[in-house]
Structures are given as C-alpha cells and as structure tokens.
Amino acid sequence: MIVGTAGHIDHGKTTLVHALTGVDTDRLEAEKLRGISIELGYAYQPLADGGVLGFVDVPGHERFIHTMLAGAAGIDFALLVVAADDGVMPQTREHLNILDLLGIKQGAVALTKIDRVEPGRVDEVGNDLQRLLAETALAGMPLFPVSATGGQGVEALRHHLHQAAQAMPQTRGEGGFRLAVDRSFTLKGAGTIVTGTVFAGSVRVGDELVLTPAGKSVRLRGLHAMNRSAQEGRAGQRCALNLGGVGKDDIQRGDWIVTPRLHAPTARFDVQLTLSPQASAGLPHWAPVHLHLGAAHVVARVALLEGETLAPGRTALAQLVTARPIGALHGDRFILRDADARHTLGGGRVLDPDGPARKRKTPLRLAELAALQTPDTAQRLARLLDIQGLDLDRLAVHWNRDALAGALPPDSMRVHASSGNWAFSAPHWRSLQEKLRAGLAGFHEQFPDELGPDAARARRMFLPRLPAAAFAALTDELLADGTLQRSGSWLHLPTHRITLTQEEEALYQRIRPGLAEASFDPPWVRDLARLAGRDEASMRRLLQKLARQGKLYQVVRDLFYLPETIARLAAVVQELE
C-alpha cells in the first residue's frame, strides 16, 4: 500500500513520516535550510506479512501544489495531516478537495502537535475536520491525535496503517505495464534511473519498454520495488527502474514508461469533468487551464460538450486539448487548476483518450461517451455495441485490457483480419446488411445500365465508416446467403441484370473473335470501331457495358481484355514468382 500525505505547510507531515518510519524524507539542502518540503519525499516500512508500506511525502506550500499533485497520483491511502494549534487551513481544504476529485476513498487524519494545545482544542479541531470530511469520499475516516516529537499516538496510527495495508486487496497486475515517472536521475555505475508509481500491469528485468510520449524504446536493466531489489514490479508498487537506451535528460516528470503496445500519446481526449463546489465561478467553454494527470503537468483548453458554462458542483462531458501530447488512458484521473495555477478548479476521469476534432457534440458521440462511463467492462461493451461497431484492438489499448473478446455478449458478431479485430451486435450487423442492400437498390434505380459498384466504391458510398475488412465479411455473408451477387468485381442485387439489346449482342459476337485472336495485345476501341464500321463513342459504350457484365475487363481507358486472357496473364505471373 502507498500512503500519501496531505495538508497545510508546517503542519508536521515530514516529521510525522519520520516518527512512523525513521526516515527523513527531506533530502535537499534547501529543504533542510528552510525547514519546509519542496520536493517529493519517500519512505518505506516492512510489514509483518512480508509486504512493504510506502510513503509519499508531499510539500504543503501553495506554490508547490503541482508537486503535491505529482505525488498524489497513484496513492492508495491518504494521510491528512492537520496541526491542532492551527486547525483547518487553506491548503488543508485544497489538498482534501484534490484527494476527493482523485477518487481516493481510504485514509486517516493525523491531528498533530497535540502537545502544544489543551485537550479541548483537540476536540474542537476534530469536530471541524469531521464536518469538513462529511461531504467527501473520505467521510468518516478515523482521526488519530498524535505528537510526532513526543511520540503520543504514533504507535496507534502506525498500527492502523499496517492493518489497512494488510487488509488491502492485492492488485492482480492486469493489463500492460504503466509507470508514471515522477523523478529521473543518474546513478554512478548504473546509469539512468526513473522512479514512479506503477498504475497497471507488471514488468520484469530484461523487458523492452517505451518512453511515452517521446516514443523512445528502452530496456529494463534492473529494478527496485518498494525500496527492495527485485526481478519483477507490479501495479500498486513504487518502483525504481534502471533503464538502458535512454539518458536522464531524455526523461522528465510526467512521462510514462509503458509496454510497447500502450504507446499512444494524445493531445485531445474526452472526459467526465466535475467542477468543484468550491470554485468561485462557472467554467466557460474553451477556458485555459493547468492539467495534472499522472505526474504530468501541462496547459490545456476545456471544450465543453454540454452547454457553454459548467457551474460549480456540476458534472459534464468535455474534451481537453493539451498544448503537447501526454500519456492518458480510459479511467485515468486528472485535476484542473486555473490559468494562473493558483486555485484547483475540478477534476474527473478520462473516457476516450482519442477524442475527435470534429463532430464531438453529435447525439451519436454523446451517446458513446455516456456508454463509456459504465464501470463494468462487459456492460460497457454491450452499451457501446448497441450504438455502433467496435474496434477491439483500439479499445484494448485505450482500456489497457488484454482480452476484450471474452467480455463480449454471446450473440455479437466478431470480424478478425490481419488488419484488426472488430465486434458488432447482432441487430447492428443486420442493420448494416440492410443498409448495403438498400444502397444497392437505389444505385440500380439511378444507374440501370450499370451492373453495380465494385466493393471499394460500395463501401465508400453506403458504409464509409465501416473498416474494409469488416465490409468484406459483411458482403461475404450476404453472398453466401444469396441476397447479394458479385459479377466480376461488381456487387449487385440478384434481381438486377444488365442485358444487351439484340443489336448490341450481334455486335459483340462480331468483335469477340478479334479480341480472342489478339490475346495479350487486343485492338483498341478505335480499331474495333473501324473494323465494325461504328463510331468510337458507341463502341466504347458497348465495351464498358460488357465490362460491367463481367464479360470484359477494362485495363486502361480504351483497352479491354477477355476474362480468359486475364486468367492466362495471371498464370504467367504465378510462374514467374
């Protein structure tokens, strides 16, 4: 379990972590000189069951909220620290608001410096805190009066943290590996080291990984998990990775180290956004903000998808457009701060990490985003399938899931091809088939002298959003049941035929021997017209009509081959191969 501290400056967070673990998390000279935390600090403590309890100590000064946010990413348990003499202060409220927006639901309050106040003051501040917590996800969390310097209450708090850690369910490490980088440095004799919290998956020494968003390939040469040398790291742990193939300066806080298939940087993603009830005003469309996701901090714009202004305390769909690409996947939590980076505005979670630049407010798109809010994977897939077909490979990356096929409804239609995998609900698949048949019927009515479009043209005309492989599966099924026919390369309904007039048939029989005799070098349209005593335009129309019937193949504008000649040419090519 990873514990993250939170609270106002000088309320004793670092001192308390030292009392609990024996580790001074202030490692910078400036921190020791000034007596305040500036950077993130880390401490670890062994548990009775062989596990490790990790601590991320964050700065409390309002100027370092961006650092606090990098540390809060990925913690399991919040330790809210409040000094009994000061009581609730501005950063107490802001840190608690951030924890609530990040969806952190487990925690405890440490009421510090009780040796400096009367017992009545402890009760008073405790009551204030309970009222403050009541409207958050951390409502009802236990409160521990402590004196980090005198030792009172420290053992009770430590015991509670150890119990919470041992009771926390073990993460199974599902999905691909993702580590949010919060620190990068060089260690003599080892090379480049990055540290961070593992959000998902697992990794082993020797694995090939990718630095996102840069896209640089790296190799894991060694690792420490929860401050212990290990061969494997997994979700829920803080890890230090010794990386080969990359320099310290190539990596910055906010980057991700991921399994290669999860390298999908984005600068435009759709989200569910909640504006904090404490926000001083509504959030207008296209407002500039500071975005914090994982350990990343980047400026962005908020494109509201519902209305022109989001009121305090309300939730809406939005699209975030960032100044530079970052790593983000479905379900990732984020925090927004104002353009001056002075106030926390709100937060939420990512729904679609690949939001569209156009048509982002259509009813179809809003229905898709509503379905993406469904927590259960199988139910989410079922809701999405009711709307449209799904690119399973794309969703497997966006949702960081290894096998989505097993969560599909049993009656869904799956299409597997070298170019990808798709799924469709049975009703939607039938509606696509009907749309193709209706499109062909309209085509036949408009162009009675044409047999039909070829497959590529039919897809562009009638089902442009359907992937080519899925369109091929759709037409194969219709061809198999006889409701669609193919003549040469043309698709048409079984009831549609192109017939030659008696005069056209007679002319065809006159020119066919010449086409057959010439074989690989057939006469051009002008030559056939001259031999038959016809004008070029009427001869060209006849040959094109024959091509639409599949009786000829048009190779260039005025050159036509018999099907048997094309077959012989194909045989020659095969022999050459």
Check residues 228 and 448 and name the one with the higher pLDDT. 228
pLDDT of residue 34: 66
- Predicted confidence (pLDDT) at residue 28 exceeds the cutoff of 80: no
Q: Could you tell me the pTM of the whole model?
A: 0.86
Residue ranges per structural domain of the chain: 2-167, 178-262, 266-363, 374-495, 502-576
CB of 346 within 8 A of CB of 304?
no
pLDDT of residue 37: 78
CATH entry, 266-363, from 1.10.357.10, 3.40.640.10, 3.40.190.10, 2.40.30.10: 2.40.30.10
Separation of alpha carbons 198 and 419, rounded Å: 31
The structural architecture, per CATH, of the domain 178-262 is Beta Barrel (2.40)
Separation of alpha carbons 161 and 41, rounded Å: 18
The arithmetic mean of pLDDT across residues 522-544, rounded, is: 92
pLDDT of residue 307: 94
Separation of alpha carbons 203 and 234, rounded Å: 6
The structural architecture, per CATH, of the domain 374-495 is Orthogonal Bundle (1.10)
Task: For residue range 172-231, list pLDDT tens digits in order.
Answer: 678 999 999 999 999 888 899 999 999 999 999 999 999 999 999 999 999 999 999 999
Task: For residue range 276-330, list pLDDT tens digits in order.
Answer: 999 999 999 999 999 999 999 999 999 999 999 999 999 999 999 999 999 999 9
Going by the DSSP 8-state scheme, the letter that residue 454 receives in this structure is B
Residue 297: how many CA atoms within 13 Å on its side-chain side? 16
Question: What angle do helix axes 502-518 and 525-532 make, rounded to 10 degrees?
Answer: 120
Separation of alpha carbons 282 and 311, rounded Å: 4
- Predicted confidence (pLDDT) at residue 151 exceeds the cutoff of 80: yes
Going by the DSSP 8-state scheme, the letter that residue 466 receives in this structure is S
Confidence of residue 521 (pLDDT cuts 50, 70, 90): very high
Task: For residue range 335-380, list pLDDT tens digits in order.
Answer: 999 999 999 999 999 999 999 999 999 999 999 999 999 999 999 9
Domains 374-495 and 502-576 share a fold: yes
pLDDT of residue 576: 85
**φ, ψ for residue 95, nearest 5 deg:** -65, -40
Strands 2-6 and 77-83 turn out to be parallel
Task: For residue range 39-50, list pLDDT tens digits in order.
Answer: 888 999 999 988
- Predicted confidence (pLDDT) at residue 35 exceeds the cutoff of 90: no
> What is the sign of the dihedral through the CA atoms of 150, 13, 41 and 26?
negative
CB of 447 within 8 A of CB of 462?
no
Task: For residue range 54-66, list pLDDT tens digits in order.
Answer: 999 888 777 778 8
Confidence of residue 74 (pLDDT cuts 50, 70, 90): confident
Q: Look up the CATH number of domain 502-576.
A: 1.10.10.10
User: How far, in whole angstroms, is CA 26 from its chain's centroid?
Assistant: 35
Confidence of residue 32 (pLDDT cuts 50, 70, 90): low
pLDDT of residue 172: 62
pLDDT of residue 265: 98
CB of 552 within 8 A of CB of 563?
yes
Beta strands in 34-98 (DSSP E): 41-46, 52-57, 77-83
Residue 390: how many CA atoms within 13 Å on its side-chain side? 30
**Among 34-38, 101-105, 250-254, whose mean pLDDT is lowest?**
34-38
- Predicted confidence (pLDDT) at residue 38 exceeds the cutoff of 80: no
Sheet of strand 420-424, all strands in order from the earlier edge strand to the far edge: 390-391, 420-424, 413-417
Question: Is CATH 1.10.10.10 the classification given to domain 2-167?
Answer: no
Check residues 458 and 188 and name the one with the higher pLDDT. 458
Percent of the chain, pLDDT > 70?
98
Question: What angle do helix axes 65-72 and 90-101 make, rounded to 10 degrees?
Answer: 40
- Predicted confidence (pLDDT) at residue 540 exceeds the cutoff of 90: yes
Task: For residue range 504-513, list pLDDT tens digits in order.
Answer: 999 999 999 9
pLDDT of residue 30: 67
Separation of alpha carbons 543 and 507, rounded Å: 10
CB of 524 within 8 A of CB of 559?
yes
